[in-house]
Structure 1
Amino acid sequence: MVENRTGALRLVSIRPSIRQVALVATDFDGTLLGAEREISQPTKEVLRRLNEFDIEFVVVTGRPPRYCKSIPQQTGIPTTLVCANGAVAYDPLTDITTQFATLDLSDARALVTEIRDAHPNAGFCAEMADDFVAERRWLQQAGRATETDISDLIPLLDHRVHKLLVNLPDLSADETMAVLNPLINGRANVMHAGLPFIELMPPGVDKAFGLKKLCDQRRIT
């Protein structure tokens, strides 16, 4: 606020200088990437300006790292990636994945066991750092190619598991969430992206969590 000649106070909007900005972050699908599955030319021009001012550009996405490798080519500038809804960071230049959070392994195994006991036709898969492991039933129910004969995910889970995906036959993601939330009972952060399965993340982990972790690493406040 500043005082004018009459002694009254008035609000003054002060725009920060672009040189005060250290990092810009955005979602990708449906945000940076438009309906045509392309980044618009005006947006690319803005991204180019960020690069000219050495401002770090970060895409925060629900995609796993293996589906993020083309993003820097699409943005046209160096792009830092926070993937898997905040659970991991991925450096496309070095092809290195850094995990920010994982599910407790005993909880992950218990969740699969308890959900399967209650719903024998449930299908499961897991994201574990760079690895993706899926049961045949999950692939079938998700309409994916069935390239595996895995019938039980549990023996393949390890300490790197940062996401479990669960589908129930003939149920939408919202319906699956409503059915399974009482059983999950806070042991995982439950979300979905509109596809016919739900995602079980470590408690408290989401895109904001992953972005904060990255900023903490960079000492950006």
Structure 2
Amino acid sequence: MSRVPKQPRSIAPAQIPPIGLVAIDLDGTLLTDQKQVSKRTARALAALPSRGVKVVIASARPPRSVKPIYELLGLDTWQINYNGALIWDHPNLQIVHHQPMPPALVNAIVQHARGAYPDCLVSCEILDKWFTDRYDNTYTTETGRMFEPDLVAPLWMFLSQPVTKLMLLGPTTMIDDLTQLVREAFPQVAVVRSDPELLQIMDASASKAAALNYVGEAYGVPMSRVMAIGDAMNDLEMLQAAGVAVAMDNAPPAIKQVSHWVAPSNNDHGVHAALVRYGLVD
């Protein structure tokens, strides 16, 4: 098991109010590198509702990609998708909150990116559907490994409607450059880099933190009673906003620095360890 360093924001379990909601990232956090939930973690999470604790998935993934994990855990809560650009009520199959980007803005970003790198792969998630003009799985996402696009067609055929999340994919050096180009040219969007070969772009007001606050208010749980668990830069604001912030040992230093405690890695039952530390399971 990896060594767990002491963190500047360290907070002892006795110092916190009762936790009423646990928000958990998926890839690199709840899921192992084999994309599985450990049995001990699944059992622990399944026990939380009977103790009055809500379990909320907060992921960059779309609903269709979260569904197998959500159902495995037997959840009935809202889920946070697309880094907060969508809040989805899976039991009722309806949108709770949606913060897309206008089509004119997305077109401008795509033109800017393709002007610099014509080979840049462009994918658009619109609600729970995937659209692209070039299907190439050389560079893809976890969702892209599970599903094929709903439509492969010229950009104009689908960029006439609001876009939930825009993704630019390509070699790491290309995405390095595009990250800076997009951030400088389009301050009205949120640019998230959680994978070397992927740039995720959402409306600037969309974040896991904002969505989690929305969900917490709906459930009557203040952020002071929320535990957030994550591992990547798209989790940073959520961790900063939560009353208890837990980083995985596989997280980068910037994520560990804003967290109250560093759990073992995603391959070492880190989520379960966090639940035990803060008294949510025995």
Q: TM-score, normalised by structure 2?
A: 0.62
Find the counterpart in structure 1 of residue 30 from structure 2: 32
Q: Which of 147, 164, 167 is residue 165 of structure 1 equivalent to?
A: 167
What letter corresponds to residue 139 of structure 2 in structure 1? Answer: A
Determine the C-alpha separation between the residues in 2 that align with 1:29 and 1:195: 14
CA RMSD of aligned residues (A): 3.0
Report the alpha carbon displacement of residue 35 of structure 1 after superposing the two structures with TM: 3.2
Indicate the SS of the match to 2:33. Answer: coil
Q: Does residue 1:109 correspond to 2:107, yes or no?
A: yes
Alignment map for 1:17-56 (pairs within 5 Å) = 20-56=18-54
Give how far 1:203 is off.
Answer: 0.9
CA contact (8 A) 1:72 1:79 kept: no
1:176 to 170, 175, 178: 178
- Kindly tell me: are residues 195 and 67 of structure 1, through their superposed partners in 2, closer, same or farther at Cα, counting changes over 3 Å? farther
Cα deviation for residue 155 of structure 1 reads: 3.9
- CA offset at residue 129 of structure 1? 1.1
For residues 68-90 of structure 1, give each alpha carbon's deviation from its aligned partner in whole angstroms, at most 9, with x where no partner exists: 11112332443431111111122
Question: Which structure 2 segments of 5+ residues have no match?
Answer: 1-11, 223-282
1:216 paired to 2:217: yes
1:61–1:84 contact (8 Å) kept in structure 2 = yes
**How much has 1:14 moved relative to structure 2?**
4.3
Q: Secondary structure at the match of 2:48?
A: helix
**Which residue of the partner structure matches residue 72 of structure 1?**
70
The count of corresponding residues between Structure 1 and Structure 2 is 205
CA deviation vs aligned residue, 1:89-143 (integer Å, no higher than 9, x gap):
222322323333111332222222333334333332211112211111x536536
How far 1:170 sits from its partner (Å)?
7.2
| C-alpha distance in 1 between matches for 2:221 and 2:124 | 32
Structure 2 distance, partners of 1:105, 1:113, is 12
Give, in whole Å, the separation in 2 of the partners of 1:16 and 1:119.
49
Q: What SS does structure 2 have at the residue aligned with 1:70?
A: helix
Pair 1:84–1:120, CA change in 2 (3 A)? same
Offset, 1:149 = 4.8
CA deviation after TM superposition for structure 1 residue 157, in Å: 2.2
Mapped pair 1:58 → 2:56:
yes
What is the aligned counterpart of 1:119 among 105, 114, 117? 117
Q: Take 2:40 and 2:137, find their aligned partners in 1: how far apart are those partners?
A: 41
Match of 1:4 in 2: none
Write the deviation string for residues 22-76 of structure 1: whole angstroms up to 9, x where unpaired: 3221112211222343222332332133121232110101111110111123324
Whether 1:142 aligns to 2:139 is: yes
State the identity %. 22
1:192 is paired with a residue whose SS is strand
- CA distance in 1 between counterparts of 2:78 and 2:152 reads 35
**Cα distance in 2 for residues equivalent to 1:78 and 1:100:** 19
Which segment drifts farther, 140-149 or 74-83? 140-149
CA distances 1:130-170 after superposition (whole Å, capped 9, x unpaired)? 2211111x53653676886523x244124431211113467
- Determine if the alignment matches structure 1 residue 92 to structure 2 residue 90: yes
CA displacement at 1:211 relative to structure 2: 1.0
Please say which structure displays the higher CA radius of gyration.
1
Shift of the 216–100 alpha-carbon distance from structure 1 to 2, 3 Å rule, reads farther
Contact 1:26 1:60 in 2 (8 A): yes
Cα distance in 2, alignment partners of residues 21 and 215 from structure 1 = 12
The whole-number CA distance in structure 2 between the counterparts of 1:13 and 1:94 is 35
* Change in 2 beyond 3 A, CA 1:166/1:154: farther
In the alignment, the residues of structure 1 paired with residue 15 and residue 204 of structure 2 have an alpha-carbon distance, to the nearest angstrom, of: 37
Q: Which moved more, 1:37-46 or 1:26-35?
A: 37-46
Residue number in structure 2 paired with 1:9:
none
